[in-house]
Structures are given as C-alpha cells and as structure tokens.
Amino acid sequence: MVIVGAGAFGASLAWQLARDGVSVTLVDQFEPGDARATSGGETRLIRSGHGADSEYTASARRARTLWRELEAECGEELYVECGVTWFARAEDGWEAATMRVLAAQGIPFERLAPDEGNRLFPSWSSAGLAFLLHEPEAGVLRAQKAVRALARRAAAHGAAVVRSRARPEGAAVRLGDGRTLEADAVVWACGAWLGRLFPELAPIASTRQELYFFAGGSAWAARGVPAFVDYDHAVYGTADVDGLGVKAASDHDGPPLDPDAPLPTPGADGEARVRAILAERFPALAAAPLAGAKSCRYELTPDGHFLAAPHPEHPSAWLLGGGSGHGFKHGPAIAERLAVALRGGAPMPARFGLCERAPGRSVRTAGGSRSTVLREARPASSAPGARD
Ligand SMILES: Cc1cc2nc3c(=O)[nH]c(=O)nc-3n(C[C@H](O)[C@H](O)[C@H](O)COP(=O)(O)OP(=O)(O)OC[C@H]3O[C@@H](n4cnc5c(N)ncnc54)[C@H](O)[C@@H]3O)c2cc1C
C-alpha cells in the first residue's frame, strides 16, 4: 500500500494499516506536521456535535477513541479534553438538532442557560443567546503533534516514510527522484494539492484562512476553559492552549490561495473583525494584546463533505481528502472506514464519492459563494452581503 500525503487523513491511514500488519509506504513532500499542510496547525477542535448529521457525529465520537489509542501508544497528551461550548442563538437551530443526535447516540452534553457561561469562561456576556450546548468530552487536539505521532507510530509499526514530491502515473506513483512505486492500492491524501493532482476529478478549492491569538491572561490558560463555537456567526476558538493565547477565527471562506503559495501574514482587517465578535462574548478580551496571527489553507469541496473514492480509471488508486474545515478530528475514523473498504468490506459513504457536488448552502462570504454547512462554524444567513 502506498499513501501519498502524511496529513491527518493519510498519516491516520498509514498508522491504522501498519499496525494491522499491512506493508505501507507513506510519502510526503514535507516532514509530517509541516505548517504548509493543513494538518500542521497547533490546535484543532474535536467535537461530536454535527447538527442533525448522525454519521459525522458517530465518526467524530469514534475518532475520539482512536485519538486516545494513539495517545496511549505514543505516551503524549494530544487531546486536551476541555469541552466545547456552542453558543445557541435560537431555540431550534443547529444546536437543538445536535442535542437530539447526541442524545440518541449516548454522547454526553449539557444544555445550559446563557448566564451559566459565567462559570465556564473567565469573561462572559450572554447577549443574544438562547442557550448553551456544552460537550464536556469534546476539546482540542494538538494537531501538529498528533500528525507527527501518527507518522512516527506508523513507522514504528513498520511503515516506510519517504520524503518526496509525487505525481500519479496511471495507477502508480512517480516520485521526485524518478522512481515508480506500484502497490495493490495507492491512496492520494494530498490535502489542498488534490485538486491540482486530479483536476478533472477532485473538486477541491484551496482558500486562505486566518487565525488570531490574543493574550487574555492566566485565567484563559486554566485547564478547564472550554473551546467554543458560535455556529450562526461563523466564529470558533479555544482558550489559551500551550501558551498560544486565546485563539479565534472566522469560518467564512477566505480568498483562493494556491497550495504552493507562501502563507501570507494576516491583515489588520481580519483581526479587527474577529476581535469585535470575540469582545461581544468575552468583554475582557476587547483590548487584549494580539499574541499572534497566522494563515492556513482550507481544502474545500463544494458541499463540505469529504472525498474518499476510487479513481474511475484506476480503481486501485483512491482519492482521500476534502476536509473542508472540519476534517482533522475525523482523520483516524475515516481512515478506519477506508481500511475496511480497501479490504472489500463496507463501502465508503456515497456522499464522499466523485459525484457531482452541489453547494449545500450558498452564502456570501469574503471569498464568494460556497457551502459552509459542516465546518467548525457557519455563517448565519444565506443572504448575500449579510456578513463580512
Ligand atoms: C484554520 C483552520 C482551522 C481548522 N480547524 C479545524 C478544527 O477545529 N477541527 C477539525 O476537525 N478540522 C479543522 N480544520 C480542517 C483540518 O485541519 C483539515 O481538514 C485536515 O487537516 C486536512 O488533512 P489532510 O490530511 O486532508 O490534508 P493536509 O494536512 O494538507 O495533508 C496533505 C499532505 O499531502 C502532502 N502532499 C500534497 N501533495 C503531495 C505530493 N504531490 N507529493 C507528496 N506529498 C504531497 C502535503 O505535503 C501534506 O502533508 C481546520 C483547517 C484550517 C485551515
């Protein structure tokens, strides 16, 4: 088995297969966890809540178990189980649908009155909220460390980890040094580069996203402060994990960014927008000094659903990716399902196929119109110009 791409998806698959005794070669153009790959950020949220979507809910929950297994194998704390709190602006919106699915799957959650945010966060305003949905067993993954751990553990189980820029050659893999790798199966898990490698097949758009970190003081660094999602206002963030500062980001689609282009320094406009939204909920952060800012790339499918499908002309070659802003947490669970599908077991979900992808929900964002149904957060309205 050859896997090209050692991000959350590819490295998870390499780890799972190698520990099952499969012979694996894991190829990446960078060292695993490189900041130019989408999985190379310091932190990513993990939460089971996915609105009414029971399949992603179950996947995230299964992934939590698998991340824990990885932790146990590598002896590192990769998962900060601080909880995730959702800010519900309506009684019967995304969060209410989420609660119904969590309840049906036996996943712990609490429905809290808006004022109870006072006991969760060091600074709080409940303005505009109908209730809070708190997932105590959700939290933050140390993404870059986790990806490195996946690749390391894959190698420990016998996988060969090769650094090279690869390209498809029929069903095989041509490495940068001219060698060709052939295998029973090849999986191209190439993140934002998938669209370039398979332009006719992979409808992946690469966009620039910005993250901001604010120096909120020691209260935000306390272990139990949850991560948060304001789904309707398309903002999410974390408390101060590992001294990075309070993280906040907009989930609106950013402008297109070539996968090979350097990651630009975020601008002051983005900071002002995120700071204003953050200050509404956490007033003490209104004037918090900026501790850091960075850009990264989303690799978006039109409908926000992942891509995991065989190549139509070379069925032993698979395309895997399209994390669409919510893929990291699912990495090991999607890999587990794909490992089964590769052995001829249960197929991957039809919606992860190379089918026509219609935007699930067209919204006006900084980068244009696109579905944002399933990411860490989602804009409030489909009305053009309603945000940004
Ligand atoms: C700002 C931001 C915040 C996010 N927040 C969250 C979150 O809170 N929770 C969550 O679950 N998800 C989140 N996501 C989404 C998540 O991080 C991604 O969906 C996921 O990391 C994608 O993993 P991947 O393995 O598909 O891609 P990548 O991590 O990009 O890995 C692809 C790998 O393929 C390699 N590669 C590409 N082409 C080639 C080639 N030709 N030859 C060799 N190697 C190649 C690359 O070098 C790279 O290492 C966020 C994303 C961003 C950008």
pLDDT tens string 253-306: 899 999 999 999 998 889 999 999 999 999 999 999 999 999 999 999 999 999
> How does pLDDT run across 83-92, given as a tens digit for each residue?
999 999 999 9
Tell me the whole-structure pTM to 2 decimals. Answer: 0.94
Q: Which atom of ligand 1 is nearest to the CA of 165?
A: 42
pLDDT greater than 80 at residue 366 = no
Which candidate, 154, 162, 167, 175, places its Cα nearest to that of 193? 167
**Better-predicted residue by pLDDT, 368 or 287:** 287
pLDDT of residue 364: 22
Q: Name the amino acid, one letter, at 45.
A: L
Using CB distances shorter than 6 Å, the residues near ligand 1 are 4-10, 27-30, 37-39, 41, 44-45, 165-167, 189-193, 197, 209, 211, 249, 296-298, 321, 323, 325-329, 376
Contact status, residue 134 vs residue 226, Cβ threshold 8 Å = yes
> How does pLDDT run across 217-234, given as a tens digit for each residue?
999 999 999 999 999 899
pLDDT greater than 70 at residue 384 = no
Q: What is the mean pLDDT of residues 183-207?
A: 96
pLDDT of residue 371: 39
Average pLDDT, the chain: 92
pLDDT greater than 90 at residue 370 = no
Q: Which atom of ligand 1 is nearest to the CA of 210?
A: 1
Cα 135 from chain centroid? Answer: 17
Ligand 1 probe mutation, 187, 190, 295, most atoms within 8 A of CB:
190
Which candidate, 88, 10, 6, places its Cα nearest to that of 51? 88
Compute the distance between CA of residue 301 and CA of residue 364 in angstroms, rounded to an integer. 16
- Report percent pLDDT > 70 for the chain: 93
> How does pLDDT run across 125-174, given as a tens digit for each residue?
999 999 999 999 999 999 999 999 999 999 999 999 999 999 999 999 99
pLDDT of residue 376: 58
Sign for the CA dihedral angle at 378, 68, 351, 307 comes to positive
